[in-house]
Structure 1
Amino acid sequence: MAHTPKIGDTVVDFRLPGGHLDGETFHRREYTLGEQRGKPLVLAFYPGDDTPVCTAQLCSYSDGLAALQSAGATVWGISPQGIDSHEQFARNRNLRMPLLSDQGRTVAKSFGITAPLIGLRRAVFILTGTGRLHWKHVTAVGATYPPATTLTTQLAKLGA
């Protein structure tokens, strides 16, 4: 298993399928880390669609999306479920950020956050516009997550 990147490390580019709910349409496409160069990116890894803590976390980020975007960031949710599951999750909860499918857990492994039984640890990474790791929160068990306000505070530090 890879080690979790350290603050200041450049994160290796990746490509994952995903989708984004816009109105009533769920737009499916490939997402690449490289396409986000030039602006901050929040990567929110979560164990599963429609589970209690994951739902609370993603709803919190969706509710705080305007503030996160005002700080210049894009937010991606990443979990091992397929795109059909992500679409249903986004529709059920009106989630407005892209949800990416890491079914083989390749990206989670590259971040060093895979775990026995749960598949992956709940983790949030904030990347700078140059792809360097600015901030991270990785849980041991996965029952907690940083609120959107914490992410907004960390994003504000990028502009300081």
Structure 2
Amino acid sequence: MALEIGDKLPNFVALDTNGESFESEQIIGKQPVVIYFYPKDNTPGCTAQACSFRDNYQIFKDLGAEVIGISADSVTSHVKFKSKFKLPFILLSDTDKKLRKLFGVPNSFIFLPGRQTYVIDQNGIIRLIFNSVSSSIHIEKAIQVLKNINQSN
């Protein structure tokens, strides 16, 4: 069953680019978080999306949020991707697709892993689920929801 707006995000564990276990409870429920699922490292759309998150990272930080990117790529692939494009945010490896299943991220075009963004507030509640193959719109939507969260606090 897919997560929905208003749901509390369940805890999860995945490997980060240091090969260490990232436990979601380290961040979730403590500050807003933008989690975006993307199909594959080093592909044109995914690189553009990651670089857009990078270029807007200070805006996310100013809004009190952390950014986490998740794909099925290996830790080794993520390390190279993060280094090559100087990505300042967390990348998590979901090689067994457990996180994709936990969140309920649908596939795009039948077989390609979907591109979906979640904004979670400081209480761990999902405030936005946005699915679009267009990578650029995800950043705009996430920033707007974070601004709304900050205004309501």
**When the two structures are superposed, what TM-score results if normalisation uses the length of structure 2?**
0.90
| Corresponding residue for residue 101 of structure 1 | 93
After alignment, is 127-136 or 53-62 more displaced?
127-136
How far 1:147 sits from its partner (Å)? Answer: 4.5
Kindly indicate whether the alpha-carbon contact (under 8 Å) linking 2:34 and 2:120 is maintained by their aligned counterparts in 1. Answer: yes
User: Which of the residues 140, 148, 158 maps onto 2:139?
Assistant: 148
- Show CA shifts across 1:10-33 (max 9, x none): 1111000012xxxxxxx4422122
User: Which of the residues 3, 6, 9 maps onto 1:8?
Assistant: 6
User: Which of the residues 20, 33, 38 maps onto 2:30?
Assistant: 38
Change (3 A) 1:126 1:44: same
Equivalent AA in structure 2 for residue 33 of structure 1: S
- Show CA shifts across 1:101-137 (max 9, x none): 011110111111142421x210000001111101110
Alignment of 1:1-160 (within 5 A): 2-3=1-2, 5-19=3-17, 27-36=18-27, 37-115=29-107, 116-118=110-112, 120-139=113-132, 142-160=133-151
Kindly indicate whether the alpha-carbon contact (under 8 Å) linking 2:34 and 2:117 is maintained by their aligned counterparts in 1. Answer: yes
Distance 2:79 2:135 in 1: 24
> Runs of 5+ in structure 1 lacking a partner?
20-26
> Runs of 5+ in structure 2 lacking a partner?
none
Equivalent AA in structure 2 for residue 127 of structure 1: I
Equivalent AA in structure 1 for residue 7 of structure 2: D
Distance 2:80 2:138 in 1: 23
Distance 2:9 2:52 in 1: 25
Distance 1:112 1:13 in 2: 15
- Show CA shifts across 1:10-59 (max 9, x none): 1111000012xxxxxxx442212211121001001000000000000000
Q: Percent identity?
A: 26
**When the two structures are superposed, what TM-score results if normalisation uses the length of structure 1?**
0.86
Query: Which has more helix, going by share of residues?
Result: 2
Flag as ranges the 4+ runs of structure 1 deviating above 6 A: none
How far 1:145 sits from its partner (Å)? Answer: 4.3
Alignment RMSD (CA, Å):
1.4
- How many residues are treated as equivalent by the alignment? 148
